[in-house]
Amino acid sequence: MPQLIEKPTRIEPTGNKPKQIDEYIGRVNSQTDAISIAQMRSPSGWMEPGQRPEFDEFTLVLKGKLCVEYEGGKLEVNVGQAVIARKGEWLTTPRTQVTGILSIYYTTG
């Protein structure tokens, strides 16, 4: 039987300003280990320390703009665009002007 996800669970992130992460599918909200699907709302100027995630990250910008810095360069990701960060790749998101993104983390494979 399909599982209905009626509402997300709010997850508290790290970073320099308050940010909202609402997980629909993942370890916290649906006890799903293989993938996490969350909607994020970030205030302008939100940033977190650089990291090397242990999973692939797929991000779709729904509103605003996302700056992604990685070893060797940086990207500007605009509304309607997406970015893929592979497992183990160093990245950070400084100077973010995003107010809404959809992130999918593929944690196995």
Domain of residue 73: give its range. 9-106
Largest CA distance in the chain: 46
Distances (CA, A) of 57 to 1, 82, 106, 107: 28, 10, 6, 9
pLDDT at position 12: 82
| DSSP-derived pairing of the beta strands 9-11 and 20-25 | antiparallel
pLDDT of residue 9: 95
**Quick check: helix, strand or coil at residue 70?**
strand
Give a yes or no: residue 4 inside a domain. no
What CATH number does the domain containing 66 carry? 2.60.120.10
Residues β-bridged to residue 64: none
CA 68 to chain centre: 11
Q: Is residue 43 part of a domain?
A: yes
Tell me the per-residue pLDDT of 37-61, one tens digit each, with 9 for 90 and over. 988 887 777 777 889 988 898 888 8
Q: What is the pLDDT of residues 3-34, one digit of tens each?
A: 899 999 998 877 777 778 899 998 899 988 88
Question: For the chain, how many structural domains are there in total?
Answer: 1
